[in-house]
Each structure stands twice: as structure tokens, then as C-alpha cells.
Structure 1
Amino acid sequence: MHEWKAELYDDKLGFVSQYGRGILEILNVQQGEKVLDLGCGTGDLSHEIAQLGASVIGMDLSEEMMERARIKYPDINFISGNAENFSLDEPVNAVFSNAALHWVKNAESVISSVWNALEEGGRFVAEFGGKGNVEMIVKAITDVLSQDYSVDANELNPWYFPSIGEYSQLLEQQGFRITYAVHFDRPTQLEDGENGLEHWLNGLAADVFFKDFSESEKKRIFTKIATHARESLFNGETWIADYKRIRVVAFK
């Protein structure tokens, strides 16, 4: 399981929540609704949903993220839970998820759990990585690990990046009615200039692809990855990650 670094996530990967505000508009929260924020991280979007008048449950598998969320937003109910297999005491009007579901390869189980958590007529509103997401970064990781360390990065890859057709089919098989679905490019500026890619690798990939390497060796690997990816993703001042996202709205 990926070990989240909550402080690094907030300090150097804050763009995750910032971009999530776009999907919040699609959620269109109504006063008094009950909303589950699935894969809520450190709670920033849970807080924004609550500010719109909803009763919010924030759920995440990472206890470190949950601890930080509870400190930041003590009035919100944050609970630990696995998106693949969770249940709620009472059904909710909406399940919301931003930048989380591409970490869960068993999409069928996620969709089943979401279905069971929703009241009849409830909605599922999500954004996550789609087919081709961070493809250039993954290629740089794969090339460096293969060429210099004889490691097959494909076996270590933790992400699920479906096409819109693949994911829509899973939703419809569960019984959902899809009312909105889009797969789009979203080039994403990484924070902290020249150091942006290293922060991204540290926060989102280090303990998955590089868990067997020492800290000093990781630094060398990150430098090699940056060299491979520089021509495609560095604009002279900052790193632009090649994000491709899926947004979907589906009703029970």
C-alpha cells in the first residue's frame, strides 16, 4: 500500500485539491445533503463541501492523512476506510471523489461499495486519472529502472487509468445511469520550480517504485528520471505533468 506523507502532500502537492474545485461545481451540493468524500486525503475538499451546507463524512485508507484532516477540520467526521470494501451506517445523497480512485485497481468493488452507500436516486461524482495519465513520467521511470537497475516498473505500477468506455461499462453493469462523462487533458504545473518533479516522485511514487532503494540512491534515480523527462515536461522554469483526467456523474 502507498504510504502517504501528509505534510508533503499539503505543502508540495496542494494542486490536487485546487484542481478538485472544478469537480465540486459539478457535484452541486444542496443545503442539508449527506455527502461521502471518498479518498478525502487531508480534508480540504471535505471542508469546502461542508461550507456549502452539507453534512460530510470524509473517508481515506491512510491513517496519517486522516490524523492531519482531523487536526485541520475538527468539526468534520473523518473515518478510515478502504474504497474497495466499505459500508456506511446510513445511505448518503452523494458520493464524491477527487484524485483517489486511480489508486484502487479493483474498480468493480469500489463501484459496488459506492452503489450500496447511496440512497435511491443518489449520485456518484468523481474525477481521477484516465487512460494516458502521467504517461511521460511513467515512461521516464520505466526507462531508468529498466536500463540502469534491471527493474520492471510495470510490475510495480500501482495505478488504474481506464478509458472512459471501460469505466462507463463498469458503472452501467452495476446499474448506474451515467449522465456526464468526459476524458480530458489537464497539463498540471508542479509546485516549486526545478524541484517540482522530485516532490511529485517523493509524494506519489517513491514508496511504490523505489521502496527497495536507499534515500541517496533515490536521489540519483530522481535526477536520472528528470533528465529523461526534461525535454517533454520542463518548460525552462517549471515542470508540467501530463495529466489526463476522467470526470463522471452517475445516478443510482
Structure 2
Amino acid sequence: MSETKWDPVKYNQVADFVAKLGEPLLNLLTPKLSDSILDVGCGDGSLTEKIKPLCQHVLGIDASAEMVLAAKAKGLNASVKDANDLDFNEQFDGVFSNAALHWMTTPKAVISGIYRALKPRGRFVAEFGGFGNAGKIVDALTTCLEREGIVYQNPWYFPTAEAYSYLLVQQGFELEHIELFDRFTPLPAHLSEWLTAFCQAFFTNVDVIQKKHIIGEVTNLLKPDLLVNGQWHVDYVRLRVKAIKP
């Protein structure tokens, strides 16, 4: 699990679009009023809040205590829990996750825990970073870090559809839908703020001054590709999946 620290207020300033773009995923979940739903990586509960009136019970979990506090402030049932070590047993009709699973670098453990958490015929619906996600950013960032001789940690897991399908089927899931697609996304702020919020793990061995310098270099490298009509974008690639527990 990434050691990235989250500030709910700053997160929404930089990436309020994440929850908005995840709303269509609810149509794939199709919650029923009798359902119990688990939201894995719920963050501040923006989508958990959308699920709540559609089912009998929803629980949001997140590894960030700060995000869980923000979710609870919205009147949601949420708890701090590492999705790599889920201990639920056939308690949920559906497991939902948006923009979170790519932070969990032991996917077999996560999928196993989700499988156990579901009741028979329960559904797992998720969207997260897939193969090639933010590829231009990752390339520019690692190029600049390596040029400076800096040792870094890539905190992300961006699988292909084929690789993730294999893990799901291996665990016992029936795969109903999976797709990998591009989502070139405009940012509400400067790219440097996105880098500061989401790329903390890359800068573990970097002091404040050097970090600022590297971020400046990265943004200069990315201007031709990601600055469009004065607005910064991220070259997101998303993996969307729906699987059923037999």
C-alpha cells in the first residue's frame, strides 16, 4: 500500500473530477434497495454518498484516516482499513471501487479479499488506472529523476485488461465486462499541483528545493503534449471491470 498522505481539501481542489467521472460506474453496479455495498478506497465518500440512497447499507473503507474522517463528516459509515488485508466474509451484495485499486500493489490479495467479502452472485465493479495510465507523465518524471541520479519508488499498479482478467478468473470470478480506454482529462489546476498531490512517492528521497526544480523540469517537458489551449491535461487510461462471484 502506498504511503501517500491525503489532504481531502487539497485533493478536491486538484482532482474533484475523479468522483464526477466515476458516477457512470454506478450504472454498472446497479445497486438494489435491499443490497449491502462495500466501497473500497472510498476517499472522502463522494461516491459512497451517491450509493447510500440506492441501497440498504453501504460501508466505505480507505487506508487514509484523513479521508475516512471526511467521509464520516458527511454522515457516512466509513472505517480505516487496508484493502490488501480485508477480513469480510460473504457480507456484501456488491463491491465498488473507483480510482483506488491502482494504489494497491498486491492485486492478488485485494481480489481475494473482495471475493471473500461478496455473497454468492455478488458483483465486483471497479474502475482504476490501467496499462499506460499517465504514461507521458511517468516517462517525463522518471527521466528527470534518473537524470539527477535519484532513487525513486513507483507507487502504482496499472495492469492490462488481459492481466487483470487472468487474476479475476484465477480467483474464481466470472468476468462479465472489462475494457481499457483513454480518458484525456482537463485539470482544474496547474499540472505541478497534480504532481505534488499524486506523485509523493517519487519524491521520497528529494528535498523541497530539488523537488520544485524537478517538477518545473517535468512540466516543461510535458507542455507540448499536455498543455492544450492554456489548460493542463492528464493522459489517463482507465480499466473498467465487472465480475460476478458464482
TM-score (norm 2): 0.95
Q: Deviations over 1:4-31 (max 9, x none)?
A: 2222112221111111112111111111
> Which residue is 1:19 aligned to?
21
In the aligned structure 1, how far is the partner of 2:151 from the partner of 2:133? Answer: 19
- 2:229 and 2:84 map into 1 onto residues whose CA distance is 41
State the secondary structure of the residue aligned to 1:217: helix
Q: Is the 8 A contact 2:89 2:116 kept in 1?
A: no
Please list every run of 5 or more consecutive structure 1 residues that lacks an aligned counterpart in the other structure: none
In 1: Cα distance, 2:15 partner to 2:53 partner: 22
240, 245, 251: which one pairs with 2:244? 251
State the distance in 2 between where 1:158 and 1:231 align: 26
Task: State the Cα distance separating 1:61 from its structure 2 match.
Answer: 0.5
Residue number in structure 2 paired with 1:204: 198
Q: Distance in 1 between matches of 2:56 and 2:156?
A: 31
Which residue pairs with 1:128 in the alignment? 128
- Residue equivalent to 1:175: 172
Match of residue 190 from structure 1: 187
What is residue 166 of structure 1 aligned with on the other side? 163
Structure 1 window deviating more from structure 2 (225-234 vs 209-218): it is: 209-218
Encode CA deviations 1:186-223: one digit per residue, 9 max, x unaligned: 1111112xx2x1121111112x0112323333222211
TM-score, with structure 1 as normaliser: 0.93
Judged with a 3 Å threshold, the aligned counterparts in structure 2 of structure 1 residues 54 and 217 are, in CA distance, closer, same or farther, namely farther
Q: Which residue of 2 aligns with 1:151?
A: 150
Q: Secondary structure at 2:85's aligned position in 1?
A: coil
Counterpart code for 2:79: I
Match of 1:187, SS state, is: strand
Matches within 5 A, 1:198-237: 198-206=192-200, 208-237=201-230
Distance 1:12 1:162 in 2: 25
List runs of 5+ in structure 2 lacking aligned partners: none
Contact 1:29 1:54 in 2 (8 A): no
1:10–1:42 CA contact under 8 A, matched in 2 = no
Output the CA distance in 1 between the equivalents of 2:35 and 2:63. Answer: 24
Native 8 Å contact 1:181 1:248 kept in 2: yes
Q: Secondary structure at the match of 2:83?
A: coil
Between the aligned partners of 1:109 and 1:79, the Cα distance in structure 2 is 19
Number of aligned residues: 243
Q: Is the 8 A contact 1:13 1:190 kept in 2?
A: yes
SS in 2 for 1:120: strand
Which residue in 2 is equivalent to 1:142? 142
Paired with 1:250 and 1:89, the residues of 2 have a C-alpha distance of: 18
Aligned-pair distance for 1:183? 0.6
| Coordinate RMSD, CA, aligned | 1.3
Counterparts of 1:60-71 in structure 2, within 5 Å, are 60-71=62-73
Is the counterpart of residue 83 in structure 1 residue 83 in structure 2?
A: yes
Partner in structure 2 of residue 108 of structure 1 = 108
Name the SS for the 2:231 alignment partner.
Answer: coil
Cα distance, 1:89 vs. partner?
A: 6.6
Structure 2 match to 1:119: 119
Q: CA deviation at 1:137?
A: 0.3
The share of aligned pairs that are identical, in percent, is 38
4+ residue runs over 6 A deviation: none
Native 8 Å contact 2:90 2:120 kept in 1: no
Task: Give 1:3 deviation, angstroms.
Answer: 1.4
Change (3 A) 1:251 1:10: same
